[in-house]
Structure 1
Amino acid sequence: MNLVIAHSDPAALIERCEVTGIRLARGEPEYEPGAVLPAGPWQRLTAELAARLRPTVHTADSTLVELVKLPEGPVPADLAALVDPLGDRQAVHLGQAASPATALTTTPNHRDGRRIGLHVDNWDRLDYPTKHTGRRRLCFNLGPGTRYLLLGDLDIRAICRALHHAPESRYPHTDDLRAYAAGLQPLRCFRLRLEPGEGYIAPTELLPHDGSTEQQAEPSTAAFWLGHWPRGVLPTLV
């Protein structure tokens, strides 16, 4: 398992985390064919699995998932300035995304609006040998509703190794994730709850991921940034 979630309180992580398998979208007009989706039903995270998610001294910051709180004090009127004190003056504000209520996954493609399911980002255009060094994404849930972060438990480099004899020359892509899932190879999907004012820092260039508002009656809006942040730059939720 390549997914690593920073936490010092396993009970707090277990309280906000669930896990299920995956399935492929078939004949669902709101999704791209072959999109990778949570299969359901969701199961409570076990203590054994929580222990396996804990990072070690060898875990690189660039591969770590952190669940975080908004900084203390009022939110700046200019959200782009929110991350100025966090250690990367070159961080890029990606903007905001409004998500409707009750959406199994939230990210649409920009051609026809169909949702893409679990995917890996490619902002940094990194090849297989360097994919794990990409910038991490910072997200804050601005509300009004609760939302979830969905994460696959294998990173895209491990998926490429399972698919290709010579992955070193490849540029890992969501198509690799879909091919892996179509081959019925094992992948778990984790769901991490984020209330308004809460967020995450995660290697979305590396880990299959998406947002979700499944089972939530209210929509929510998320704000996003990309940057090279050291671990522990924001207060942790877990």
Structure 2
Amino acid sequence: MPLHIAFTSPDSLRERCDITTVRTADTEPAYEPGAVIPAGPWHSVTDAAARALIPPTATQASTLVEIVRPPLPSHGRLDDLALPLGDAHAQYIGQALAKPDMTTTTDNHRDGRLIGLHLDNWDKLTYEHKPSGRRRLALNLGPGIRYIILATLDAQAVCRAVRPNDYAWRHPHTDDYRTHAAAGYTINVIRIRLVPGEGYIAPTEYLLHDGSTEGQEASAIAFWLGHWQSGKLPSLI
């Protein structure tokens, strides 16, 4: 299932989002070889592109993207922020600080090189079960604006395309997207703006993604993982 975003106002969606394609970062020493990054320039989301993001009625909550403002606990403990959302086993996984003006923000902790757009693999899911993974809740702690970048093409579709003979037995991986992009196939990505205090709930096990501070100041972000029903927090769009 491709990228679907919960929204009620197409104008609010387009005001907050941009779109571009991707490319392989072959010549940038800051990136791993083969890393997939936004190609740029960013463009406004067309009416047709916005319609393609509308979730069908039967969309699973586990594959839905929601733009939200998570309420801070009264005692200020961030690790308890997700408790009211309904998953008693939700996991606080910490914070990350992004430098200013980063096209993508996640690095490989072993050597410091940026990994580019990627799939999470916390839940170690096979092809069949990839859509059922936990979603990531994120809160922009500021001080700067930041973005979440999400591919419109899901992990199952990419796995089928690059591994047509044995995709059913695979664990969809970032490398599948790297192979797809290196072969010259188009992958569109949506960039969603988040001011401090705003956040998202997104299936980062299922959609290629990363954070970005392109053109912005530094910012920190906090993360949780959990199984949450859709609509537990009001949509900002």
TM-score range, shorter chain: over 0.9
> 2:209: which partner in 1?
209
RMSD (Å), alpha carbons = 1.1
Match of 2:77 in 1: 78
TM-score, length-scaled by structure 1:
0.97
Once the two structures are aligned, what percentage of the paired residues are identical?
55
Partner SS state of residue 13, structure 2: helix
Equivalent residue, structure 2, for 1:144: 143
Counterpart for residue 171 of structure 1: 171
Give the C-alpha shift of residue 152 in structure 1. Answer: 0.7
Q: CA deviation at 1:75?
A: 5.7
2-structure distance, mates of 1:169, 1:48: 35
1:76 Cα deviation after fit: 3.9
SS in 1 for 2:109: coil
Residue type of the alignment partner of 1:154? L
The CA distance in 2 between the partners of 1:27 and 1:10, in whole Å, is 37
- Contact 2:97 / 2:218 at 8 angstroms: preserved in 1? yes
Q: Spell out the pairing of 1:1-238 with structure 2 (5 A cutoff).
A: 2-71=2-71, 76-165=75-164, 166-216=166-216, 218-238=217-237
Deviation at 1:235, TM superposition (A): 1.6
Letter aligned with residue 176 of structure 1: D
- TM superposition shift of 1:74: 5.8
Cα deviation, residue 186, structure 1: 1.4
Tell me the CA shift for residue 77 of structure 1. Answer: 2.3
* d(CA) in 2 for partners of 1:52, 1:127: 26
Contact 1:35 1:178 in 2 (8 A): yes
Report Cα offsets for 1:155-211 as digits up to 9, x if no partner: 111001111122010011111110011011110011000000000000000000000
- Residues 108-156 of structure 1 deviation map (CA, whole Å, 9 limit, x = unaligned): 0110111000000000000001000000000000000000000111011
Partner AA of 1:172 in structure 2: P
Residue 60 and residue 74 in structure 1: after superposition, are their counterparts in 2 closer, same or farther (change >3 A)? closer
In structure 1, list runs of 5 or more residues that go unmatched: none
- Between the aligned partners of 1:52 and 1:170, the Cα distance in structure 2 is 28
- Structure 2: gaps of 5 or more residues: none
Secondary structure, in 3 states, of the residue corresponding to 2:35? Answer: strand
With over 3 angstroms needed to count, the CA separation of the structure-2 counterparts of 1:98 and 1:75, relative to structure 1, is farther
Matches of 1:196 and 1:233 in 2, distance apart?
Answer: 20
Letter of the 1:125 partner, please give it. K
Alpha-carbon contact 2:73-2:80 (below 8 Å) kept:
no
**Could you tell me whether the CA contact under 8 Å between 1:144 and 1:220 is conserved in 2?**
yes
